[in-house]
């Protein structure tokens, strides 16, 4: 009965972590759309919004790591920081900049449909950097996802080429960042959780974003004398962004990254429904057919990842069993040899 209660408790906690992550991710996306959209809050400054997020998150991450010491910092040399963390920070800043910019031009629902291309981008870039093995079956799956997104784009009522370009660039930069994390950090035995990631990477983002901000947005903000920073709006928005990183930390730490990928599919459908019913974005039947096809491709991709993970775990257990059997055999041989020597003596 105790085992049964423990299993039920674990399942309830897992679903709770998933629900918290979905709620916060949902909130941040809709909140960003509200701030940036010209028909809503009308503050179309995506670089500034991203910099506010990075400043807020890096400050809290510093407090958690250095002041309250709730999270252990990672041992990292200056050379490793500049060769590994800085390039990742540059890609992250570009990904956030372009992703937030897309909210000005595209609906929330269509952006979620375009984000379905993330597995395609990660796999393709992984093959380019030789971190993934090219397989015809996997590539066929990637083609089906791409075809579904293309159909959804064809059926989009308010298609904006510039907005689509921005979102596709955001996907490409984010996918490259994820692959580089494997190459530059994970391969060297360095693992960054969301808090240490913000601690090391958010300041880099601030530095990189300051250049386009000074050129593109600062002159407009400076001349807009009527604008005053609403601390309630931007403070709660930044707090939600930071809370989302904590939720990622909990979800991945207590379950797995694969669970987050599966939960992300649920979140996308919820966002599409919310965008259609509340924000009143137009979602056409062709949109849904295309995204449905892409959804099936993403679901199959996650299924294959799960099977590969199970096979890897089974192989590790088999190796551990073989090693244990080998040690027991050596121990018995040693005992037999010792008894033989005793008898001879």
What pLDDT is recorded for position 72? 86
Q: What is the pLDDT of residues 63-92, one digit of tens each?
A: 999 999 888 888 888 999 999 999 999 999
Q: Tell me, what's the pLDDT at 273?
A: 92
Single out the residue of 79, 95, 175, 162 nearest to residue 129, CA to CA.
175
How far is 207 from 61, CA to CA, in rounded Å? Answer: 17
For the entire predicted model, the pTM comes to 0.86
Residues of the chain with pLDDT under 50: 1-3
List the structure tokens of 280: 């009143």
Query: Kind and range of the H or E element at 223?
Result: helix 218-223
pLDDT score of 71: 85
Half-sphere exposure of 248 (CA within 13 A, CB side): 17
Q: pLDDT by residue (tens digit) across 230-257?
A: 899 999 999 999 999 888 877 776 776 6
What token pair was written down for 178?
């994820």
**Who's near 167: CB < 8 A, 6+ residues apart?**
98, 99, 102, 106, 111, 114, 115
> Which pLDDT score is estimated for 154?
94
pLDDT, residue 226, reads: 65
Residues 230 and 18: their CA atoms lie apart, in Å, by 31
- Indicate the length of the chain as a whole number: 345
Whether the CB-CB separation of 113 and 198 falls below 8 Å is answered with no
Show the CA angle centred on residue 93, arms to residues 89 and 94, nearest 5°.
120
What is the C-alpha separation between 47 and 91, in angstroms, rounded? Answer: 14
Query: Residue 64: CB partners within 8 Å, gap ≥ 6?
Result: 70, 71, 195, 199
The per-residue pLDDT for range 220-232, each reduced to its tens digit, is 988 876 667 789 9
pLDDT of residue 55: 95
């Amino acid at each position: 009965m105790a085992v049964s209660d423990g299993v039920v408790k674990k399942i309830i906690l897992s679903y709770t972590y998933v629900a918290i992550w979905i709620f916060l991710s949902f909130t941040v996306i809709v909140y960003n759309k509200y701030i940036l959209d010209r028909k809503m809050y009308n503050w179309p400054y995506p670089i500034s919004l991203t910099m506010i997020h990075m400043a807020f998150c890096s400050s809290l991450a510093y407090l958690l790591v250095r002041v309250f010491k709730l999270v252990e910092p990672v041992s990292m040399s200056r050379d490793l920081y500049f060769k590994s963390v800085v390039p990742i920070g540059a890609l992250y800043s570009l990904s956030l900049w372009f992703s937030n910019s897309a909210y000005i031009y595209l609906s929330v629902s269509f952006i979620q449909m375009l984000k379905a291309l993330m597995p395609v981008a990660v796999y393709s870039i992984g093959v380019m950097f030789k971190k993934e093995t090219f397989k015809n079956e996997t590539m066929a799956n990637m083609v089906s996802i791409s075809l579904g997104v293309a159909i959804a784009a064809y059926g989009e009522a308010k298609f904006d080429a510039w907005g689509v370009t921005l979102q596709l660039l955001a996907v490409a930069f984010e996918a490259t960042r994820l692959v580089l994390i494997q190459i530059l950090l994970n391969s060297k035995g360095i693992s960054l959780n969301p808090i240490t990631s913000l601690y090391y990477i958010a300041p880099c983002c601030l530095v990189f974003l300051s250049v386009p901000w000074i050129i593109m947005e600062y002159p407009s903000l400076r001349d807009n004398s009527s604008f005053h920073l609403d601390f309630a709006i931007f403070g709660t928005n930044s707090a939600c962004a930071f809370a989302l990183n904590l939720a990622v930390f909990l979800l991945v730490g207590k379950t797995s990254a694969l669970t987050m990928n599966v939960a992300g599919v649920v979140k996308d459908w919820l966002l599409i429904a919310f965008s259609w019913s509340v924000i009143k974005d137009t979602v056409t039947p062709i949109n849904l057919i295309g995204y449905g096809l892409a959804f099936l491709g993403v679901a199959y991709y996650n299924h294959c990842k799960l099977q590969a993970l199970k096979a890897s775990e089974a192989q590790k257990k088999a190796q551990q069993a073989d090693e244990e059997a080998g040690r027991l055999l050596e121990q018995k041989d040693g005992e037999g040899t010792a008894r033989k020597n005793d008898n001879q003596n």
